[in-house]
Amino acid sequence: MRFFDRLAARIDDRNTVVSVGLDPDTDRIPEFLADHDLPRWAFNRRIIDATHEHAACFKPNAAFYEDADGWRALRETVAYAHGKDVPVLLDAKRADIGNTTRQYAKLLDVVDGITVNPYMGRDSLAPFLSREDAGVFVLARTSNPGGTDFQDLELATGEPLYERVATRASEWNEHGNVGLVVGATTSDELEDVRERVPHLPFLVPGVGAQGGDAEAAVEHGLTELPEGTESAARGVDVGLVNSSRGIIFAGENARGEGEFFAAAGDAARRLKRRLNQYR
C-alpha cells in the first residue's frame, strides 16, 4: 500500500491527524531509563505505548539518532511502531547530488516516508520521488523565525519563493507520493499554499510547543487526494499536524514512570480532540 493510502486508512480508522514527533533528547530522557542498553529506544517504546491510539503517524527526527546506538534505537522504534500499525515518517530533510542522494534515499528501506530539502532542485530529490510507495514531504514554508530569510524572497514573477517551491513540488508529484511541509505558525501562508496546490497533503509542524494555529493547520493542511487513489474513494482528508516536545515531554514534572508516560498519552489525546473540532 502506498504511503498516503496507508495514512488515509489510519486517519479514518483512528479518527486522528496527529503526528507524534519522537525526538528523544538524551538530556531530557528521564533518569529512570538511564540504565537501559538503548535509553532512546526504551523511551520511544513507552511513548508509543502511551500515544499510538491517538497517532496517525510517528515522526522521529534523524538528528536525535545520528550515532551507532541511535540508529539501533531508530530501527527498533520503527519496527515497534509498525507492530502497532502506525506508519513512520523520518524527519531527515535530506537531499544531495548523484550517488550521495541515492544513498540517502535508502533510508526509505527502513521508514515509510521522509522529509526532503528542495534547495538543490529536482535531480537532488529524484531517488526519493521515484519511490512510489513512500511519502516524500518537501520543505516549503517552515515554522522557524529564520525561515523568512529566504522563503519569503520575492521572485521576478511577484511570488514568494515558498510558493514557487510548492508549485514545483506539485509538478514532481507523478506518483502521487509528494506532500509539503508548511508551518502552522504562518497561517496566512498555509492558506496561500493550499490555494496553489489543492491536492498535496501537508505536514504541519509548530502546533505544539511553538504555539501554531491548530484551526488553520486542519482547515488548510488536510486535503482529499485526487481520484485514482484508494483513499479518495472513501473521501478521507489526508494530512498531518505534528507535535513533538509538547507530547513526549508533557510529563517532565511527573512523579514516577507511570505518571510520566500517562501525561504523554493525555497530551496526544487532547491534541487529537482539539484538532478534530475543526475537521
Q: Rounded distance, CA 97 to CA 107, Å?
A: 16
Q: C-alpha cell of 238?
A: 489526508
Which one is predicted more confidently, 7 or 210? 7
pLDDT of residue 228: 61
Q: How confident is the model at residue 223 (pLDDT cuts 50, 70, 90)?
A: very high
Which of these ranges, 17-26, 41-50, 198-207, 261-270, has the smallest mean pLDDT?
198-207
Q: Rounded distance, CA 61 to CA 125, Å?
A: 19
Phi-psi region of 15 (alpha: psi -120 to 50; beta: other; left: phi over 0): left
pLDDT of residue 144: 85
Q: Rounded distance, CA 45 to CA 60, Å?
A: 12
Closest CA relative to residue 167, chosen from 132, 206, 141 = 141
Instruction: Give 89-109 pLDDT, tens digit per residue.
Output: 999 999 999 999 999 999 999
Q: Rounded distance, CA 19 to CA 208, Å?
A: 11
Q: C-alpha cell of 236?
A: 478521507
Does the pLDDT value for residue 25 go beyond 90?
A: yes
Q: Rounded distance, CA 157 to CA 141, Å?
A: 18
Which of these ranges, 13-22, 56-65, 232-241, has the smallest mean pLDDT?
232-241
Beta bridge partners of 58: 20, 88
**What percent of the chain shows pLDDT beyond 90?**
86
Q: Rounded distance, CA 15 to CA 9, Å?
A: 10
Which residue has cell 537501559? 36
HSE (CB half, 13 Å, CA atoms) of 56? Answer: 30
The distance in angstroms from the start CA to the end CA of the chain is: 25
pLDDT of residue 1: 86
pTM for the structure as a whole: 0.95
Angle, CA of 180, 223 and 221, to the nearest 5° = 50
Instruction: Give 82-94 pLDDT, tens digit per residue.
Output: 999 999 999 999 9
Say whether 93 is catalytic: yes
**Residue of 84, 93, 106, 272 marked active site:** 93
pLDDT of residue 225: 80
- DSSP letter, residue 201: -
Residue 170 CA to its chain's centroid (Å)? 18
